[in-house]
Amino acid sequence: MIQTAQGEVVITNDGATILKHMSVMHPAARMLVDLSAAQDIEAGDGTTSVVVLAGSLLGAAEKLLGKGIHPTIIAESFTRAAAKVVEYLEEMSTPVDLSDRDNLLRAATTSLSSKIVSQYSSILSPIAVDSVLRLVTPSSTNVDLRDIRLVKKVGGTIDDTELMDGVLLNQNVITSAGGPTRIEKAKIGIIQFQLSPPKPDMDNQIVVNDYRQMDKILKEERLYILNLCKAIKKSGCNVLLIQKSILRDATNELSLAYLQKLKILAVKDVERDEIEFLSRALGCKPISDVEQMTSDKLGEADLVEETSKNGAKFVKISGIKNPSGKSVSVLCTGNNELVLAESERSLHDALCVVRCLVKKRFLIAGGGAPEIHVSRLLSQYAQTLKGMEAYCFAAYAEALEVIPTTLAENAGLNPIKMVTELRNRHAHGERSAGINVRKGVISNILEENVLQPLLVSTSAIELATETVGLLLRIDDYHPCR
């Protein structure tokens, strides 16, 4: 549980989120925070493992420095050792096809098993897998997770989280003037101007002497707003998304009354950072001036309606006719904001794991099995080397054992006993033997469906080694005023 300086409370076990909220001052510690963030961007999972691994490598480097080995030799040897580890991991990986939904589900479930919401993995894993599969083709080498829209609504439980076709909007339809809440064969326009009277400059003053002048001002105001609404209707638009503005009100009572008469559904306070996604998903262009309001800038959909679930209202746009854009929406529900935020983070991690399998279509075992396997192979390889490099490779191999050791500790098991048994099993050729956290024993981890993408492990190895190498090459630290 984290409490920020502003009093905001965050409950999470996501490594990147914890480190991001820490008030770290020392530049070396900041590098580890950045390391976790880099792993989050590259793979989306393994954010805790990468920092634990970096810490273990730094500990190994400290022992080597104590033996009188030069830091440059250590850094270069670690880089070569990392390349060898990646090679070993690729050899032990198994290819996966995107049509093999079961293996994708196993990988997503493994990612969620360490989360606070792990008991809901049977619901969140299929959502993560199906969301990505709807966006990719057999030839895809990446997927843009920005095309998967996560909409959070308080109400119900995580069990009620569901995947929906089309686009969901957090905002509600404006119904204060009795406007429509459902439009079929929708023509959707996104406007960045406001349907309210323009405000005069602060330096100017308007002096009204009599009622006729007052009436004239009101008449001009009505005419101005009426012309705006007529121009919108003339373009064929019947669903209006209005960007949020801090300068003026998005709408006023008069404009809402006109929109109601013209049978135009209106949604206001669309955030600026949502505009790009909505434009891409709906196939429409943002309009900054009413004179640019033309039919070719509108998007089309079969249905736009305001619906509700567990008391929470949202706008659903379905049947989008945009051949160039693909998008799916996930409605995340929870009984409070804290649970909802952690559910969203966990779902994002699961989505990232599936994305890793799109980028690099290989799976490896989890449960500490790959780390012990490559540690053993690297130790054997170190014996064929000569000089200081042999010491560095052996130290790197030993540092890799921190992952199964930490895993055993966190599961409440005896880490020395478990890692020793794990080494023994791997020495006898059981390279899929890993720590079964649920049963508290060593077992074939592939049979337990504990799988993870190859990219998560290789990325963690490469990034951790790169950061440690950078720290080793730093001679001194001088804080300046």
Strands 94-95 and 265-270 come out as: unpaired
CATH number for the domain running over 13-96+364-472: 1.10.560.10
Strands 312-320 and 167-169 come out as: antiparallel
Active-site residue, from 251, 349, 458, 465: 349
> Has residue 203 got a pLDDT over 80?
no
Alpha helix stretches (DSSP H) within 311-414: 337-359, 369-382, 388-399, 402-410
Active-site residue, from 12, 17, 45, 48: 48
- What's the rounded mean pLDDT across residues 151-177? 86
Q: Domain segments of the chain: what residues?
A: 13-96+364-472, 167-326
Could you report the per-residue pLDDT of 76-113, keeping only the tens digit for each? 999 999 999 999 999 999 998 888 888 899 889 988 88
Distance CA 248, CA 206 (A): 19
Is 47 known to be catalytic? yes
- State residue 69's pLDDT score: 92
Could you report the per-residue pLDDT of 3-51, keeping only the tens digit for each? 888 888 888 887 888 888 888 888 888 999 999 999 988 888 888 999 9
- What's the rounded mean pLDDT across residues 336-341? 88
Domains 13-96+364-472 and 167-326 agree in fold: no
Is 333 known to be catalytic? no
Active-site residue, from 12, 14, 109, 405: 14
Mean pLDDT of the chain: 88
Comparing C-alpha atoms, which of 158, 160, 200, 195 is closest to residue 174?
195
Distance CA 319, CA 245 (A): 29
Contact 392, 64 (CB under 8 A): yes
Confidence of residue 194 (pLDDT cuts 50, 70, 90): confident
Lowest mean pLDDT among 31-45, 194-208, 221-235, 373-387: 194-208
> Has residue 197 got a pLDDT over 90?
no
Is 273 known to be catalytic? no
Distance CA 239, CA 267 (A): 8
Distance CA 126, CA 147 (A): 17
Residue reference for tokens 């191999």: 397
- What's the rounded mean pLDDT across residues 62-70? 92
Is 467 known to be catalytic? no
Residue 451 three-state SS:
strand
Could you report the per-residue pLDDT of 393-418, keeping only the tens digit for each? 999 999 999 999 999 998 888 999 99
Instruction: Classify domain 167-326 at the CATH superfamily level.
Output: GroEL (3.50.7.10)
CA within 13 Å, CB half, 326? 10
Confidence of residue 337 (pLDDT cuts 50, 70, 90): confident
User: pTM (2 decimals)?
Assistant: 0.82
Active-site residue, from 12, 17, 40, 47: 47
Comparing C-alpha atoms, which of 171, 156, 172, 74 is closest to residue 123?
156
Could you report the per-residue pLDDT of 121-133, keeping only the tens digit for each? 899 999 999 999 8
- State residue 18's pLDDT score: 87
Counting runs of H as helices and runs of E as strands, what totals does the chain give? Answer: 15, 17
- State residue 478's pLDDT score: 82
